């Protein structure tokens, strides 16, 4: 990891991986648990049990909370179709990535037949891409554009694991194509001259 870069990296606490992924993505502590809990309440104001977080209110936020939190900061998230190769992504138009991956639930060395989900942020900092997973002791240097595309490809090829990738970008002109994160050479909606 280049020593001159100051990389913001929150570590995992409780079930707050979505909170950590958002803060790691933006490289600062801009979201708090109370803000995400408020988003949950606004998404389901009349729900006795809120479907957007854990039953006990300890975190475990869903994608609706993440997308709403991104909208507050003038960003938007797009679900990436895993049938496509990540090379179609125009990396210059992306703030970063949020991955949702399954985790085994363990008590000590015993793996229980319960699966949990975990949110991870990946983004470029300086000239390199980093895996900012809050479960890591420190950010993981992925490398160049080709390295991050390889990392994403490897994550998404785990078909039985049901991994999901969301592309995060700043909101811009609403007249643009909703697929504006696709490289022009891969855009099937673009007509030939």
pLDDT tens, residue by residue, 61-76: 889 889 999 999 999 9
pLDDT at 193: 45
pLDDT (mean) for 76-99: 93
How many residues are given for the chain? 193
**Is 53 a member of any domain?**
yes
**Is 2 a member of any domain?**
no
Dihedral sign, Cα of residue 143, residue 93, residue 157, residue 77: positive
**Is 5 a member of any domain?**
no
Q: What is the pLDDT of residues 7-66, one digit of tens each?
A: 999 898 788 899 999 999 999 999 998 888 888 777 777 777 665 666 666 677 889 889
Strand partners, 125: 128
pLDDT at 52: 65
Strand partners, 102: 117
**Is 9 a member of any domain?**
no
**Is 12 a member of any domain?**
no
**Is 10 a member of any domain?**
no
- Specify the pTM: 0.81
Structure tokens at 169: 């970008």
**Is 32 a member of any domain?**
yes
Closest CA to 122 of 22, 25, 14, 12: 25
Range of the domain at 160: 17-171
Q: What is the pLDDT of residues 132-153, one digit of tens each?
A: 999 999 999 999 999 999 999 9
pLDDT at 64: 85
Return the CATH number at 60. Answer: 3.90.70.40
How many C-beta atoms surround the C-beta of residue 124 within 10 A? 18
pLDDT (mean) for 169-176: 70
Residue 127 has pLDDT above 70, yes or no: yes
Residue 178 has pLDDT above 70, yes or no: no
Total number of domains in the chain: 1
**Is 51 a member of any domain?**
yes
Residue 192 has pLDDT above 50, yes or no: no
Residues marked active site are found at 17, 118, 133
């Amino acid at each position: 990891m280049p020593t001159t870069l100051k990389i913001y990296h929150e570590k995992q606490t409780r079930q707050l991986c979505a909170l950590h992924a958002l803060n790691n993505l933006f490289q600062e502590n801009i979201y708090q648990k109370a803000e995400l809990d408020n988003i949950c309440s606004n998404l389901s104001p009349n729900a006795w049990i809120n479907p957007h977080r854990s039953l006990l209110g300890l975190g475990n936020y869903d994608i609706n909370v993440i997308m709403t939190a991104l909208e507050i900061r003038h960003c938007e998230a797009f679900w990436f179709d895993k049938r496509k190769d990540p090379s179609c992504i125009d990396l210059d138009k992306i703030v970063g990535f949020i991955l949702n991956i399954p985790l085994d639930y363990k008590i000590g060395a015993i793996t229980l037949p319960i699966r949990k989900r975990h949110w991870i942020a990946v983004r470029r900092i300086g000239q390199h891409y980093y895996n900012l997973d809050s479960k890591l002791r420190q950010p993981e240097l992925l490398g160049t554009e080709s390295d991050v595309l390889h990392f994403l490809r490897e994550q998404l090829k785990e078909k039985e694991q049901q991994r999901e990738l969301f592309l995060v970008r700043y909101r811009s002109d609403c007249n643009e194509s909703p697929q504006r994160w696709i490289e022009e050479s891969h855009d099937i909606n673009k007509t030939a001259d």
